[in-house]
Structure 1
Amino acid sequence: MSAQFIEPMLASLVEQPPDGEEWIHEIKHDGYRTLLALEDGKVQGFTRRGADWTAKYGAAVREVGGLPVHSAILDGEMTVLNADGRSDYRALKTAIKSSPGRLVFIAFDMLMIDGKDIRGETTIERRERLQIVLDEPPTAIQFSEAVQGGGKAFYQAADAMGLEGIVSKRAKASYIGGRTRAWLKIKSYAISELEVAGVLEGRGKPTMALMVDRQNNYRGGAFITNRGIKERLLSRVRAKRVPLPKGMEAKPDAKWLEPGVMATVRHLRGEEDLRHASIESVERA
C-alpha cells in the first residue's frame, strides 16, 4: 500500500472563542497531528507535513485496519493520555521512542471513505460518518466529542479544568488543506514567575529570554515581545560579561545575566517545560 498524503486543514490561533450555533467546539488535545490512511486492512500514518511515521506509531496505526470500512483517511491527534484522561505531550515523545503501545489516536475528522472523497461535505456530515465508523472503536482509537454553540462557556470550562484549550470549527465548512479561519484554536495559558538566566539574540531571529526556576532548573525560552523590556535586558547583558551559569548548557548566541532578574512569563498550560511562552513583565532590569 502507498497511500497519497493529503494536506491537513489547520486552525488559526485566536484569543477568544466564537459563539453561535454555526460553530462546533472540541477539546484541544496536546499531541502530534496525524492522518491515518486505511486501504484493505493496511494502514499508513502521516505527520501533518507528510512524513510516514507508520512504524513509529505501532498499534495505534494497526488497529485502524480493523475498522468496518475497506478504505478511509482519518484526521486526528496522536496522543498519550495520563491517569486523568488528559493528553501528556512529554509522555508522548517518550512513548514514540520506547512504548508505542501507550499511544492513543483521537480522531476528529474523516476525509475519504470507501473510495469516496467527502472533503466537500460539511464538518457535521463528515463527523457523523466518522462517528458511525468508530461506533465500537479499538482501544487505541477514540472519537473526539463536540458541542454545538456556547463557545465561550465551553472554553471557560476547559480552562477551569486545566486543559490545553479548545478548537472551534464552522459546522458547515468543507475540508480544505492549509491554514483557515473556518477552524480556530483557542489555547489556555498559565502565568509563572521565573528568573532570566540569559538572553538569546540571533541575527534574523526573535530575541528570547532563557528562563530558570527557583531551583535553577532550565525551563526553556520565552519570547521578548515588549521593546522596552528587550532593551533593558540587552543593556544589562552588554554592561557586564557573565560566564555560563552553573548547570546551564552552552548555547550559540546566548549572553548570560547575573542572578536576580525575575520575570512574569505567560506560557502554555500543563507543561513542565515552557511552550509558546512570552515575557509579560520584568521585576528589575
Structure 2
Amino acid sequence: MRQHGRVLTPTQFLAIADRAAAADGVDPLSETTRLSLRRDGASVVGAPRGEAGGAFVADDGSVELCVDPDMRRRGLGSAIAAEVLAQHPGSKFWAHANLPAAQALSRSLQLTVVRSLWRMGRPVDGEPAVTAPVLPDGFTARPFEVGRDEDAWLAVNSAAFVHHPEQGRMTRADLAERMAEPWFDPNGLLLIQDSSTGALAASHWTKVEAGQRDEGEVYVVAVAPAYQGRGLGRAVTALGLEHLKSVGVQEISLYVEGDNTAAVATYSRLGFTRTGIDVMYALPSGAH
C-alpha cells in the first residue's frame, strides 16, 4: 500500500488506540488486530500530520482506523480512510460500537453497512437460570488438554466456520498466540466428545480477561458438521455458561453475526439481549 503521510510503528499505533479506547469507552481495535500488530513485519499507515492516527489493513481487506482523541475534528480520519480506499477500493472498515464519528465518516465517503456484529449479554443470576447441562446419550465432556487437543480442535473449528470470514481461517499459529495470552485457561475450553469413537464433536471456548473477573465471554462455540442436529450446540453452550458461573463472573457476553437469526434466537432464549453493535462499512457494490 502506498504510504499516506508517515508510517507509524505498531507500538505507536497501539498507544493511540489505547488513548482512543480510554476516551470513547470502546476499543477501536479487535483482538485479532492487536495480535497481528505484535508480529514482525506488521505495518500501519499513518495520518498526514505526525503521530495523530492511522489504519491497519488486514490481509482480508478489513480495516481498523483510529485518530488520537486530541487530534480529532481535523479531517484526519477521512483523509486516512480516503487513502486506504484509493489504494484498496475493496477495503471494509470496522466501526466498533458504531460511534457517531464513524457514522459521520461513512457518510462523508458514501460508505454503506455491509455487516453487523451484535454484542449480547446477560447477568449470571438472570433468567433462565444457568445450570449444568445434561449431555445427549453417547457423549462426554472434558476440558481441553494442551499438547493433545490442538489439531482436533482446529479441525472442528475450521469445519464449523468454513464460511465465516475470520473464525474459519484460524491456524495453529493463531491458536498458539491465543493460548499464550494471560487470559487463556484450558479449563475454560470445554470439549464434548463421542464416547464410542473419542472424536471431538463440539467445543465451547470461554474467556475471562486477566484482571477483569466480573465479566466472562462466550468466545467460540463450535459443533462439528457431522454432529449437528443432535442437541450438542445447546448442550455445549450451557456447559460453558455453567463454567463461567463457577469461576465467579457476574456478567456473560458474546458476539454474534447480526444476520444469523437462528443464533440470535438461540441466545435470546438463553437470556441474552443485545447490548451493542459493531458495524462494517464499505463502498457500495460497483462503486470500487
The TM-score normalised by the length of structure 2 is: 0.31
| Structure exhibiting the larger radius of gyration computed from Cα positions | 1
* Bigger proportion of residues as strand: 1
The TM-score normalised by the length of structure 1 is: 0.31
- Relative contact order, higher structure (CA 8 A, sep 6+): 2
